[in-house]
Amino acid sequence: MKSSELFEEAKKLIPGGVSSPVRAIKPYPFYVESAEGSKLKTADGEELIDCCLGYGPLILGHVNPVVKSAIAEQIEKGWLYGTPTPSELDLSRMIIADHPSIDMCRFVSSGSEATMAAIRLARGFSGKKDIIKIEGGFHGAHDGVLIKAGSGATTMGVPDSAGVIADIVKHTAQVPYNDTESLTELIEKNNDIAAFILEPVMGNVGPILPKKGYLQEVRKITEENGVLLICDEVICGYRLGIGGAQVKFGIKPDITTLGKVAGGGLPVGIFGGRREIMEMVAPSGPVYQAGTFSGNPLTLAAGKAAVGYLRENPEIYVKLEENIRVIKESLPEKYQSRFVNEGSMFKLFFRDTPPQNYIEAKESDTEAFSLFWKKMLKAGIFLPPAQFETNFISTAHSDADIEKIAGAYSECL
Ligand code: PMP
């Protein structure tokens, strides 16, 4: 069946026809039958260069041979035991070694689960109730963070979800990104703040970069006021480099959440932090957290293979960054200043200057974006279908792919 026919059927079976809202491309999404390297093959027989990469995890591209053989080897040995496995030790050792802020970590099955547990842990540890998040920050689809949420929530026009009760979200305050004054003001007014959660580089309204000194100042303010700092590195972790944004920008959060790349493309979430905080997690402490699929052997095998490969080949990050520079520098000059990139995260904003925060990002011309996005798709390039999502490239993108992406950008603009 073709994509249009599949979608018609899917709409009868699945709300909106999709398993996650941002996939509901209009008038219908393309369906993928297979993928390899940098390319997707659609049900309509097209081949697309993939700059979405599963919304970030596939930094080594599709069906990377190292990850594939690790998964295949694990399949032979079983894919769910419901017991601890030696692989948990291997992957946690790598994560702890790569993140100076992490003494211990725990595996879960999604980024949402990781941030939910991290927030509960911050409350359990501090005995305080409230949290602060960034306007437009997206930390998954659980109640306490679904206000002014970025990603699909903003794209679909529902940054505040129905069904999330006021009694819960009244404990979530918001501050604009890149604004330490608002943060200080809020913290000075309220002494019941358990944690401040932020993506060090915002990935869910397109990439927004921290102003010079912003993250260091955030660390200072939170530390001085006894507010735990949660760095949500679900996108940035192992994407911006070994140790993610916190190592790149030199900050030490109290709690970190990881996901995406760290699971090699299989479902994963990880939360970790200082030993005295992590020891509050059950069964060593009173903060409950559990999951049937937590630390599942297939994810651990894929995660170990992907993270291990990145650690052994750190020059990958230099090449990825170089490739993004090639794309940026090929653009007509007026667009270069609207092109925001950090590591292998990038986006062109349809506004005059790079946004500093959510409000500015939302001023982008989303209609122009949609037209551009459709043209790019016709040119054989799949970008995430929203202004408020980050584009990615992988090590599987060849120089020819990069040239094709760069050429398509200029032509479609
Ligand atoms: N935090 C951040 C920063 C994310 O980007 C996402 C997902 N895009 C999540 C949390 C939630 O992760 P998941 O989709 O794996 O639940």
- Closest ligand 1 atom to 260 CA: 15
Q: How far apart are the first and last CA of the chain?
A: 33
In this structure, which amino acid lies at residue 79?
Answer: W
Q: What's the gap in Å between 144 CA and the centre of ligand 1?
A: 14
Q: Tokens in use for 147?
A: 């206000």
| CB neighbourhood size of 114 (10 A) | 32
Q: What's the gap in Å between 410 CA and the centre of ligand 1?
A: 31
Closest CA to 195 of 271, 92, 97: 271
Confirm or reject: Cβ of 140 under 6 Å from ligand 1. Answer: yes
What does the pLDDT average to over 197-203? 98
Confirm or reject: Cβ of 172 under 6 Å from ligand 1. Answer: no
Confirm or reject: Cβ of 115 under 6 Å from ligand 1. Answer: yes
Looking at the chain, the domain(s) classified CATH 3.40.640.10 span 65-311
Confirm or reject: Cβ of 299 under 6 Å from ligand 1. Answer: no
- Closest ligand 1 atom to 232 CA: 3
Mean pLDDT, the chain, rounded, equals 96
Confirm or reject: Cβ of 199 under 6 Å from ligand 1. Answer: yes
pLDDT over threshold 60, residue 157: no
Q: Tokens in use for 17?
A: 């026809």
CATH tag, 65-311 = 3.40.640.10
**CA–CA gap between residue 243 and residue 249 (Å, rounded):** 10
- Quote ipTM for the complex: 0.99
Element (H, E) at 220: helix 214-224
Confirm or reject: Cβ of 109 under 6 Å from ligand 1. Answer: no
Confirm or reject: Cβ of 396 under 6 Å from ligand 1. Answer: no
Confirm or reject: Cβ of 151 under 6 Å from ligand 1. Answer: yes
Q: What's the gap in Å between 60 CA and the centre of ligand 1?
A: 19
Percent of the chain past pLDDT 70, that is, above it, reads 98
Residue nearest to atom 12 of ligand 1 (CA): 111
Q: What's the gap in Å between 207 CA and the centre of ligand 1?
A: 14
What does the pLDDT average to over 294-303? 98
In this structure, which amino acid lies at residue 278?
Answer: M
- What pLDDT was estimated at residue 148? 84
- Closest ligand 1 atom to 257 CA: 1
Label residues 221-247 b or e (16+ Cβ within 10 Å = b): bbeeeebbbbbbbbbbbbbbbbbbbbb
pLDDT over threshold 60, residue 375: yes
Element (H, E) at 249: helix 244-249
Highest-pLDDT range among 83-97, 137-151, 160-174: 83-97
pLDDT tens digits along 377-410: 999 999 999 999 999 999 999 999 999 999 999 9
**CA–CA gap between residue 304 and residue 284 (Å, rounded):** 25
**CA–CA gap between residue 103 and residue 255 (Å, rounded):** 10
Would you say 261 and 85 are in contact if contact means Cβ atoms under 8 Å apart? no
pLDDT tens digits along 179-188: 999 999 999 9
- What pLDDT was estimated at residue 155? 64
pLDDT tens digits along 12-38: 999 999 999 999 999 999 999 999 999
Looking at the chain, the domain(s) classified CATH 3.90.1150.10 span 3-64+314-412
Q: What's the gap in Å between 234 CA and the centre of ligand 1?
A: 6
pLDDT over threshold 70, residue 156: no
pLDDT over threshold 60, residue 264: yes
- What pLDDT was estimated at residue 101? 98
Residue nearest to atom 13 of ligand 1 (CA): 111
What does the pLDDT average to over 56-81? 98
Report the residue among 139, 154, 205, 258 best suited for mutation to probe ligand 1: largest number of ligand atoms under 8 A from its CB.
139
Q: Tokens in use for 163?
A: 């069904």
Report the residue among 55, 138, 231 best suited for mutation to probe ligand 1: largest number of ligand atoms under 8 A from its CB.
138
**CA–CA gap between residue 79 and residue 74 (Å, rounded):** 7
For every residue of 102-165, DSSP letters joined together read -SEEEEESSHHHHHHHHHHHHHHHH---EEEEETT----SSGGG-SS--THHHHTT-SS-TT--
Tell me, which fold does domain 3-64+314-412 have in CATH?
Aspartate Aminotransferase, domain 1 (3.90.1150)
Q: What's the gap in Å between 45 CA and the centre of ligand 1?
A: 30
Label residues 268-277 b or e (16+ Cβ within 10 Å = b): bbbbbbbeeb
Label residues 52-85 b or e (16+ Cβ within 10 Å = b): bbebbbbbbbbebeebbebbeebeeeeeeeeeeb
pLDDT over threshold 90, residue 160: no
Report the residue among 112, 119, 256 best suited for mutation to probe ligand 1: largest number of ligand atoms under 8 A from its CB.
112
pLDDT tens digits along 238-260: 999 999 999 999 999 999 999 99
Closest CA to 36 of 243, 245, 265, 189: 265
Q: Tokens in use for 104?
A: 């211990």
Would you say 48 and 42 are in contact if contact means Cβ atoms under 8 Å apart? yes
Residues 6+ apart with CB under 8 A from 311: 94, 98, 242
Q: Could you give the 3-state DSSP secondary structure of residue 40?
A: strand
- What pLDDT was estimated at residue 138? 96
Handedness of CA 91, 96, 101, 106 (dihedral sign): positive
Would you say 208 and 235 are in contact if contact means Cβ atoms under 8 Å apart? no
Q: Let me know how long the chain is.
A: 413
